Structure 1
């Protein structure tokens, strides 16, 4: 006879128009099993488009806290406005998840998480008063280890609040598995887990733990060391979000393990890929045929060139798209050739806030700007950070297409309508201790049909209280639902 801890559990769920569940619109059950850590992933059908719903779960006498989600309009249907936030890189040991507390209070339709939701090991210790349990001191390499890391992060009340407030779209970067892993190759380190069969086992464990702990559909259920993470989400005729996977199908990093290189001809090789041929063709085809006004790429590592040499040379890292130049040129060139006017890339990984123009080919000084990229900083990774640092000064001096840099912690809030995209860089002054306030450090806009970013206002400028922006600068979208 199976013990209660190992037996399947019937979980009931309710979806309602109101948070008191007086207007329940559907009920159902799902079976939680030991094999998936007693998690459930019900896919509820028949809900009305473009409205908020509340949900909860019941198992025996236990009732979950209430969560809230929102449905989108069908593809092609008129949609006036959309608001979302994107975030990444939340090392538990580096600081408190205060940014999520503020994010949960925003007026948003959804949250996009771009990876490094957990870290496979403790790289730094930044939390004041941090006590690390013995079971969490070693690097995760198996299913039990990865499950513990998700449980550690999910125990944080600010993160719980953010999940309960909005629907989330999630993907992974490297630290959900191993630092700088690429396809079938592990990242840094020469231990037994670098042996290919053992790394595949490790990858399968990491993928399963991710599926168990994230709001993912059955289509994302892993098959061993494989998981379908590239997918599309339509929001009426206004936007389509394409979530990319820049880890599973990439070639291994060249000229080292992703560090800075000044002379690396291999990164231009035409057979090198960060997406894999199948995903790249799927992406380009989707961009060309989507009826949405804004094409949004949910992307893990920086797409635009990041030159760290302020002189005539070029020094770049090879873990980002700079190490896979042919794929970058193919994607951006195809978008331009096929008339994708409003391509915006949202990116994590860098622990920096950046706004930049994207060029079709960085080797050609006359190459046109064809898209925009907004890089969001970390929730905690890098500890408190700084408004400006030596890295920022170097990047701004060496990259004329980079229009903004900031290295504090936080997230990016986005509002868009059919005329304007607006990104607000929301930052907290510290994360080593809880309770930090939130502020908008800067805002940038992209205008319909005009690729590239434009600064909307700076916080030290006088603010027009009627519009909330600096005098003489672009106003945010104003149309409502």
Structure 2
């Protein structure tokens, strides 16, 4: 039979949306969510005749893999940079069919279904596929009318009770479109990986008129965005990059945000430290809600990450058998405002206040409970801003970034002490934000030089942000002189590749010599490792 004949046999429904969550999203919006995830299908919705236009210009993706499935994603946008943010779609729902197969030629299709792309969610769909085999590669594709999407490749994770021998993944962050070409993703897409973790700043909220890639010839793009159409356009601009689309199609991704998906240096209900037109808290919450919705519409996220206005559940835990627990943190939504006016300050005593939090009390309790109950050999925290101390003042004074964990010392000490007290076997933190590569030890209390090392942190550089970069810049010379726990520093662009097995964690810092023109090669600048039951980093 034809694909369309089988399309009515949708896969088993994903996890149930709570009644509170359903009603909180609003009647029409809740229906849009249910249609887009496949919880129910509206049979009366027709397909869309496109007259030869390609609705899949933004590509396809999969995310948050589990032993029995994952979420699939696409967003229909035949005119991706349409000024109103609609992607050139009409204001009505459209039926989207999908297939999942055990082979890339779709001779062995294992799941078929259909979902509905609605204007309320930017004509994005997020079908959650279940009933698959653990630790298996699968292929997927979408269809709208006569248009067929590119083929995506994805993979389920091992059973939670299993003991896999190894995991290979990459992590990346910070990809300002105007600062350079996304060549790093060309190379990442060719790696042999099980998954990709993106640690935030997937988009930036500003688009200068003239930039390092020349004049942007799109009148629809704004200098800075504050509303949903503007954020949708930013995602469309970034996804216009073929290397990024290829990396999404090749591996399942696990994504979170940092600050630029909304606004630079925002903290909880507080807008960024730079005066902007949304300094009013109500205006900022509207802006945050728009940024969150655009993120959900444009990323492979499950319905449990669906925003409710200016709130979005991003912290979650994903197990890779009993080898790795990946705990994704949210260091933006629940934090206190940065102390001492933010920025980098020497002598800011407010950063030591006992009640200050970067995680919020509920998220912190959830994290610490995971330390106490997880059976995994490696505890990995997916983290947005550096956890280890980053002193920029050689000598007795301390000058740190108050937007990072250095501005929230009590929370850092509580987390690291809890990991030690719970007997966490191996604690490794992976971090974005800094636009440089770091390998560093994590110390239980940076005020005490004799304090024990309790874990390792690997900070990954940017994909493009701040242009070509350098081997070691002026900041790096200061940091290497001021931080004995910092073992490696590099300011090139690229991504980080990780291989972890039962005895060893290996981090390869993959760097490019330039990003301001296309075609850069990639190389491994350095390799650092963590040995089982030996906290801290060692040169590989």
Distance 2:400 2:463 in 1: 25
Deviation at 1:138, TM superposition (A): 1.8
Q: 1:399 to 1:189 in 2, by over 3 A?
A: closer
Q: 1:95 to 1:13 in 2, by over 3 A?
A: same
Alignment of structure 1 residues 106-255 onto 2, 5 Å = 106-122=191-207, 127-255=212-340
Structure 1 residue corresponding to 2:530, chosen from 446, 454, 459: 446
Q: 1:340 to 1:125 in 2, by over 3 A?
A: farther
Pair 1:318-2:388 in alignment: no
Alignment of structure 1 residues 45-56 onto 2, 5 Å = 45-56=130-141
Structure 1 residue corresponding to 2:502, chosen from 403, 418, 423: 418
Distance 1:95 1:191 in 2: 26
Give the SS at the match of 2:310.
coil
Structure 1: gaps spanning 5 or more residues:
457-481
Match of 1:101 in 2: 186
Structure 2: gaps spanning 5 or more residues:
1-44, 49-88
What's the TM-score, normalizing by structure 2?
0.83
Distance 1:345 1:147 in 2: 31
Distance 2:294 2:177 in 1: 17
CA contact (8 A) 2:429 2:457 kept: yes
Structure 1 residue corresponding to 2:169, chosen from 80, 84, 90: 84
Residues 287-312 of structure 1: CA deviation (Å, up to 9, x unaligned): 22111110100000000000011111
CA contact (8 A) 1:17 1:25 kept: yes
CA contact (8 A) 1:76 1:292 kept: no
CA contact (8 A) 2:416 2:444 kept: yes
Match of 2:32 in 1: none
Give the SS at the match of 2:233.
helix
Q: 1:125 to 1:366 in 2, by over 3 A?
A: farther
Q: 1:391 to 1:125 in 2, by over 3 A?
A: farther
Match of 2:373 in 1: 289
Match of 2:513 in 1: 429
Give the SS at the match of 1:136.
coil
CA contact (8 A) 1:93 1:130 kept: no
Pair 1:264-2:333 in alignment: no
Distance 1:416 1:311 in 2: 37
What's the TM-score, normalizing by structure 1?
0.93
Pair 1:71-2:156 in alignment: yes
| Structure 1 vs Structure 2 CA RMSD | 1.5
CA contact (8 A) 1:127 1:433 kept: no
Distance 1:273 1:451 in 2: 25
CA contact (8 A) 2:196 2:254 kept: yes
Deviation at 1:11, TM superposition (A): 0.7
Q: Aligned pairs, how many?
A: 455
Deviation at 1:125, TM superposition (A): 5.8
Q: 1:149 to 1:128 in 2, by over 3 A?
A: closer
Give the SS at the match of 2:140.
strand
Structure 2 residue corresponding to 1:44, chosen from 109, 125, 129: 129
CA contact (8 A) 1:76 1:291 kept: no
Q: 1:413 to 1:124 in 2, by over 3 A?
A: farther
Distance 1:436 1:145 in 2: 31
Deviation at 1:191, TM superposition (A): 3.8
Match of 2:440 in 1: 356
Pair 1:370-2:454 in alignment: yes
Match of 1:28 in 2: 113
Distance 1:365 1:118 in 2: 38
CA contact (8 A) 1:254 1:323 kept: yes
Distance 2:515 2:208 in 1: 16
Distance 1:20 1:236 in 2: 29
Distance 1:191 1:268 in 2: 28
Deviation at 1:196, TM superposition (A): 1.1
Deviation at 1:62, TM superposition (A): 1.0
Distance 2:157 2:192 in 1: 16
Match of 1:302 in 2: 386
Match of 2:476 in 1: 392
Distance 1:151 1:221 in 2: 20
Match of 1:478 in 2: none
Distance 2:209 2:410 in 1: 35
Q: After superposing the two structures, state which structure 1 stretch, 318-327 or 187-196, moved more.
A: 187-196
Deviation at 1:188, TM superposition (A): 3.3
Deviation at 1:126, TM superposition (A): 5.1
Distance 1:380 1:12 in 2: 35
Distance 2:323 2:468 in 1: 36
